[in-house]
Amino acid sequence: MTYCVGLFLDEGLVMLADTRTNAGLDNISCFAKLQPFHRPADRMIAAMTAGNLAVSQAVINLIQEGIENPETGALETIYSVPTMFGAAALVSKAVRLVYHTHGKAMLDQDVPFDVSILLGGQVAGRTMRLFQIYAAGNFIEATRDTPFLQVGEHKYGKPILDRAVTSSTTLTEGVKLALISMDSTLRSNLSVGMPLDLLVYRNDSIDSVETHRIEENDAYFRMIRDHWSVALSDAHRQIPAPEWLHRPTPGKRQQK
Amino acid sequence: MTYCVGLFLDEGLVMLADTRTNAGLDNISCFAKLQPFHRPADRMIAAMTAGNLAVSQAVINLIQEGIENPETGALETIYSVPTMFGAAALVSKAVRLVYHTHGKAMLDQDVPFDVSILLGGQVAGRTMRLFQIYAAGNFIEATRDTPFLQVGEHKYGKPILDRAVTSSTTLTEGVKLALISMDSTLRSNLSVGMPLDLLVYRNDSIDSVETHRIEENDAYFRMIRDHWSVALSDAHRQIPAPEWLHRPTPGKRQQK
């Protein structure tokens, strides 16, 4: 299983993915699911993938090697598309090509054709965007009203995002919230696993992008996990008990 | 959809269920999913159901009307079974009877035979127990190591329980935590809905049980929702930013 989350904030993008893949519980490996395509001064695009590993690796390969445009005959790649919308459309085409090539054989073996991709970034002079591409090749886009998208095992990590993320959340808070959301997922689903890959991109700063690999023993992530557990425990203890709970039964007299 | 959670604490049981049922998003109703069977001095048993409403109502009817014991010919009901294990076995029989009666016709219409039941309580002189019965009629039991069980839309509300509930959690804290877990679910899944039904049972107090219906405008529940949101926001803001974030690029000199 996989968990990937992308925050689409006014300040920029935060993208966080785990690295665990498994084909059954006894065949567990570590694969990067976050793939940046960065060419300073020109574009910073990053993809995060969930679902069947063979499918997602084929898609990532195709968008780098290029897909022929039937009208012009030219090869389109993730480095040549002129816009983020074009990048999403390229990923969509790649998904459909992989389905065309492998879909039927997979379904014959009862392997579902399962892939979801988050694609975020910016092309120089254009606006920053974040898309989610489905297995059918159709796609949606994050907006200021819905400033995060998730793929994979998304439910455990959603409540904190629902409550705390708005488009005006800063990049720094966004990094913390994405890590908290990931921590909730790691605790509740063993098949989502460390290390984590994090990408932080500041809006309109095509020249630079930050990527970090967060290992199991990363001091900051461990601090967040501990801090968050303590904070949650304190928070529920501070809530007063309901007045209606354990109310004395009518027959029982209370002393003044 | 449904969310029901049962906490199996040293002090007693906390059982909480929403009341929304839907057959498609445009056919939404309110049905009690928490059903207590209480006979003071003798037994306090309560069931919470998730899944197909016709199936769960049929099961609840059957365990009250009774199922004939093929060996003795006697009718066994939820009020006659001698132990909680016997109660779980009775629910299991009821689930299988309903499957026998309606399962094939439902599957012919592509309606999955879907039901999960939490069954908690105590028979006088016996230990308090909490079971989860599956659609196949098999069942598991909560233990001190795993002091909560959930049915229905369980993922959104699981992280807080994973972090905060142990068997030594008090009933009062348990009520708060169950409500917080429900709030996370309500926020993230529109098809889980108010009002809520809450049952609080103190271990070895067969004579009394508390039940509360918590309506949409309940002041305490609204306070918990607000308090929890504020507490979460404060908690993540108090976590320091990672040192490695926004580190100046190597080319950029820093002043001492």
CATH number for the domain including B98? 3.60.20.10
Q: What is the pLDDT of residue B24?
A: 57
Which helix (H) or strand (E) covers residue A228, if one does?
helix A219-238
**CB contact at 8 A, A168 and A34:** no
Query: Per the structure block, which two tokens stand in for B164?
Result: 């905060």
Q: Which residue has the tokens 């009208």?
A: A71
**Residue A71, burial from CB neighbour count under 10 angstroms (0-12, 13-18, 19+):** exposed
Query: Are A17 and A2 in contact, with CB atoms under 8 Å apart?
Result: yes
Q: With CB atoms and an 8 Å threshold, state whether B212 touches A244.
A: yes
- Position B77 in a domain: yes
Provide the b/e sequence for A35-65 (b: ≥16 CB within 10 Å).
bbbbeeeebbbbbbbbbbbebbebbbebbee
Residue A97 to residue A9: CA distance in whole angstroms:
32
Other CB atoms within a 10 A radius of the CB of residue A68 amount to 11
Residue A91 domain flag: yes
Please name the member of A159, A175, A241 whose beta carbon is closest to the beta carbon of B187.
A159
Per-residue model confidence (pLDDT) at position B138? 96
Instruction: Give the per-residue pLDDT at B193.
Output: 83
Residue B254 lies in a domain: no
Q: How many CB atoms lie within 10 A of CB B68?
A: 11
pLDDT at position A69 is 87
Q: Searching chain B, which residue's CA lies closest to the CA of residue A249?
A: B208
pLDDT, position B22: 66
Answer yes or no: are the C-beta atoms of B20 and B30 closer than 8 Å: yes
Rounded to whole angstroms, the Cα distance separating B70 from A21 reads 50
Q: Distance from A94 to chain B by nearest Cα, in Å? A: 32
- Residue A100's contacts (CB-CB under 8 Å, 6 or more residues apart) are none
Over residues A220-251, the pLDDT tens digits come to 999 999 998 888 888 889 899 988 887 655 44
Considering only CB atoms, B249 lies closest to which of A200, A208, A240, namely A208
A155/B188 touch (CB, cutoff 8 Å), yes or no: yes
Out of B128-132, B143-147, B232-236, B246-250, pick the least confident: B246-250
Among A207, A220, A239, A252, most B C-beta atoms within 10 A, so best to mutate, is: A239
If you measure CA to CA, which chain B residue comes closest to A173? B237
Q: Which residue is closest to A231 within chain B, CA to CA?
A: B235
What does the alpha-carbon distance between residue B125 and residue A110 come to, in Å, rounded to a whole number?
A: 52
Q: Do B236 and A212 touch (CB under 8 A)?
A: no
Least CB–CB distance from B164: residue in A210, A224, A232? A232
Mutation site, A9, A153, A163, A203, interface B, largest B CB count within 10 A: A163
pLDDT at B191 over 90: no
Cβ contact B210:B233 at 8 Å: no
* A251 is a domain residue: no
pLDDT at A232: 86
Summarize the confidence of residues B69-95 as an average pLDDT: 95
CA distance A3 to chain B (A): 14
The Cα angle at residue B82 between residues B76 and B88, in degrees rounded to 5: 70
Q: For residue A253, what pLDDT is reported?
A: 40
Query: What number is the average pLDDT over the span A130-136?
Result: 97
Tens digits of per-residue pLDDT, A29-87? Answer: 777 899 999 999 999 999 999 999 999 999 999 999 999 988 889 999 999 999 999 99
Helices (H), A111-218: 158-164, 171-188
Q: How would you class A254 by CB atoms within 10 Å of its CB: exposed for 0-12, middle for 13-18, buried for 19 or more?
A: exposed
Contact A241 B176 (CB under 8 A): yes
Residue type, A24: G
Mean pLDDT of A181-205: 91
For residue A195, tell me if it sits in a domain. yes
Band of residue A255 on the pLDDT scale cut at 50, 70, 90: very low
Determine the pLDDT at residue A233. 84
Which pLDDT belongs to residue A27?
64
Which ranges of B51-136 does DSSP label H, i.e. alpha helix?
A: 53-65, 84-98, 104-108
Query: In this structure, is residue A246 part of a structural domain?
Result: no
State the residue range of the domain holding B132.
Answer: 3-235
The predicted structure's pLDDT at residue B27: 63
What confidence category does residue B253 fall into, taking pLDDT thresholds of 50, 70 and 90? Answer: very low
Q: Which residues of A touch B160 (CB under 8 A)?
A: 232, 236
| Nearest-neighbour CA in chain B from A131: distance (Å) | 21
**Contacts of residue B14 in chain A, CB cutoff 8 Å?**
none
Which residues touch B58 (CB under 8 Å, ≥6 apart)? B94, B98, B101, B102
Is A98 among the domain residues?
yes
| Cβ distance of A245 and B172 shorter than 8 Å | yes
Q: How far is A139 from chain B (nearest CA, A)?
A: 22
Number of Cβ within 10 Å of residue B61's Cβ equals: 11
Burial of B54 (0-12, 13-18, 19+ CB in 10 A): middle
CA distance B13 to B8: 5
Which residues have CB under 8 Å from A22's CB, separation 6+?
A: A1, A28, A29, A191
Structure tokens at A123: 């092309």
Give B184's contacts (C-beta < 8 A, 6+ positions apart): A159, B156, B157, B159, B160
What's the pLDDT tens digit per position in B18-30?
988 765 556 667 7
Percent of chain B with pLDDT over 70: 93
Mutation site for A-interface testing, chosen from B181, B237, B245 by largest number of A Cβ within 10 Å: B245
Number of domains composing chain A = 1
The pLDDT of residue B126: 97
How far away is chain A from the Cα of B190, in angstroms, using its nearest Cα?
13
Instruction: Give me the residue from A158, A176, A235 closest to B239, CB to CB.
Output: A176
Please report which confidence band the pLDDT of residue B96 belongs to, taking 50, 70 and 90 as the band edges. Answer: very high
Contacts of A203 in chain B (CB under 8 A): none
Q: What is the average per-residue pLDDT within B198-208?
A: 96
Q: Do A163 and B220 count as a contact with CB atoms less than 8 A apart?
A: no
DSSP-derived letter for residue B121 is: E
Closest residue in B to A183 (Cα) is: B159
CB contact under 8 A, A220 and B242: yes
DSSP assignment string, A157-184: THHHHHHH--TT--HHHHHHHHHHHHHH
Contacts of A210 in chain B (CB under 8 A): 245-246
Identity at B131, one-letter amino acid code: F
What is the token pair recorded at B175? 């009520």
**ipTM of this predicted complex?**
0.79
Residue B138, domain member (yes or no): yes
